Amino acid sequence: MLADTVALYPLYALLFADTGLSDAEISLLLAVWSIVGIVAEVPTGAVADRFSRRSCLVAAGVLQAAGFACWTAAPGFAAFAAGFVLWGLGGVLASGAQEALLYDGLVAAGAREHYAAVNGRVGAAELVAQVPAAGLATLLFPLGGFVLVGWVSVATCLAAAVVASTIPEAPRTGDDDEDDGLGYLATLRAGLRIAASRPGVPGVVVAAALVTSIDAIEEYFPLIVAAWGVPVALVPVADLPIVLGGVVGAGLAGRAAGLSNGWLAALLAASVLLFAGAGLVGQPVAIVGVALFYGGYRAVLAVTDARLQDRIDSSSRATVTSVAGMGSDVATIGLYALWALGGITAVAGLGLLLAVLLPVLLRVRVRR
């Protein structure tokens, strides 16, 4: 997401603490953010299907800019809560709309088969962008503190909205002409019906939700490397190989797209085993294993999303993708609980279970 790559992102928790918020208040703010994402995910996906995917991306940038403006202009609990609501709404407006815009654009260009490769590169670019964003925050903060970092982040989001407004939007295509012209509620119902009951779709929706939820482990990478003896000052540097591993894996998604469901599951299983092995080693050298895990995982993530998009009609693409996104948000909460209970071992166990289930969830194919 765009907001993950702005200068304020690596500093916002420090902003909250500097304003005087307690740990409980910060946790409550994060809960507000999560709830907005879960509740608004599917309804905003239907907005993208009923109206314009491009306009949703533009609105996402504007809403996220407004959220950061609240934080910067009037720092305090109420403003932070309002900012998280706006950030959450912007995030879910982009979720589903972005994938639908890209997939249908490739279909219009006669390049449907390249979706996994292109979307993987998009994911790689998002990971890479976190590096200069963190560097920019480091440069700006001594010059103007949270205020300067905040307003630069607002400007970045608005610039992204301007860029999004120039993206061409392909006409909706597919075998769903009967859905043309539906109102918003009918569009929402049609997308939910497809996600829940169309042959070949529910399984891949569940697969996409579960695979995507594993990406939440990224939040724990700094904690992992610090626990392995890396000094706090060097944690960002030690974390960099893991990010680069994800970049390489996402960039190679086009090659992984040709794997059968069974081999895709084997790639996920091998990656998770590397992660578990790194946890057993528990030394800085094990960062290599985490980087390899994250690379393999990001390739599986991009390919799973591509197989979801292949099963969806154009007019319901954003809605069904958002159903998977909502499922991922809920599953992520379970992953956090697993981490609290058993750390790397528990999460690796979940990953191996998912690898076993993945071929079953992806097995049924539909005739296009």
The H-assigned helical ranges of 198-286 are: 202-213, 221-227, 235-251, 253-256, 261-281
Is the pLDDT at 173 greater than 90? The verdict is: no
Structural domains in the chain (count): 1
pLDDT tens, position by position, 71-82: 999 999 999 999
Tokens at 154, concatenated = 């607002």
Answer whether residue 77 is part of any domain.
yes
Q: Give me the domain span that covers residue 288.
A: 2-363
CB burial string 278-302: b at 16+ within 10 A, e below: bbeeeeeebbebbbbbbbbbbbbbb
Answer whether residue 150 is part of any domain.
yes
Please count the other Cβ atoms lying within 10 Å of the Cβ belonging to residue 269: 19
Q: Residue 167 and residue 155: Cα distance in Å, rounded?
A: 19
Q: Residue 78 and residue 35: Cα distance in Å, rounded?
A: 16
CB burial string 140-174: b at 16+ within 10 A, e below: bbeeeebebbbbbbbebbbebbeebeeeebbebbe
pTM of the model: 0.85
Lowest mean pLDDT among 65-69, 206-210, 251-255, 336-340: 336-340
Answer whether residue 256 is part of any domain.
yes
Answer whether residue 193 is part of any domain.
yes
Is the pLDDT at 178 greater than 60? The verdict is: no
Q: Residue 187 and residue 158: Cα distance in Å, rounded?
A: 29
pLDDT tens, position by position, 288-312: 999 999 999 999 999 999 999 999 9
Looking up residue 319, the CATH number of its domain turns out to be 1.20.1250.20
Average pLDDT of the chain is: 90
Residue matched to tokens 């166990």? 349
pLDDT at 174: 53
For residue 62, what are the contacts with CB-CB under 8 A and spacing of at least 6? 90, 157, 158, 161
Tokens at 119, concatenated = 């979307």
pLDDT at 26: 84
In 3-state terms, what secondary structure has residue 313?
A: coil
Q: Look up residue 42 and give its amino acid.
A: V
Largest CA distance in the chain: 60
Q: Residue 107 and residue 309: Cα distance in Å, rounded?
A: 11
pLDDT at 34: 84
pLDDT tens, position by position, 2-20: 666 788 887 888 888 889 9
Is the pLDDT at 239 greater than 60? The verdict is: yes
The crossing angle, in degrees rounded to 10, of helices 53-73 and 115-164 is 60
Once rounded to an integer, what is the mean pLDDT over residues 50-59?
94
Residues of the chain with pLDDT > 70: what percent? 95
CB 362, CB 204: distance < 8 Å: yes
CB 148, CB 11: distance < 8 Å: no
pLDDT tens, position by position, 104-131: 999 999 999 999 999 999 989 888 887 7
Answer whether residue 368 is part of any domain.
no
